[in-house]
Structure 1
Amino acid sequence: MTRRTLDIRGKVCPHCLIAVKKETDTMKPGDDLVVTCDHPPAATKNIPLYAKENGMSVETKTTAPGTWELHITKK
């Protein structure tokens, strides 16, 4: 199991989702990706939807006003 981090603060969609997809495409089952994001649509809708539709688990939490941390696990 490998834990990766990805900081996409300052990026907007579709660049946020493209960066996450690029990382998750190289992950193996059981690997985790921790994403730091400050773009509300990406953090609260687009990335979680992408992860769930592709069989990954995802947890989203607010770490500061306007900043989210997403924990994505590839199954």
Structure 2
Amino acid sequence: MAELLEPEAAYFGPGEGGQCCTFVFDMQDSPLLPTIAEPLFQKLGAKIEIQPVMNTEDMQKGLAALQKG
């Protein structure tokens, strides 16, 4: 999975009584989410939590669009 996501960082450790992995990656378009999540569900039976975040530049773009509207 890591090779598909090309993560900027990957962290491994305990979580919620089991094993946990956190990938930090740039998802260019939200419709890509099923192609990322489904293999983890189907092949690993993984529990997945997606937490979208943005960098400063993206936040500024979003706030500018909000002010225009």
TM range (shorter): 0.3 to 0.5
Q: TM-score, normalised by structure 1?
A: 0.38
Task: Tell me which protein shows more helix as a share of its residues.
Answer: 2
Larger Cα Rg: Structure 1 or Structure 2? 2
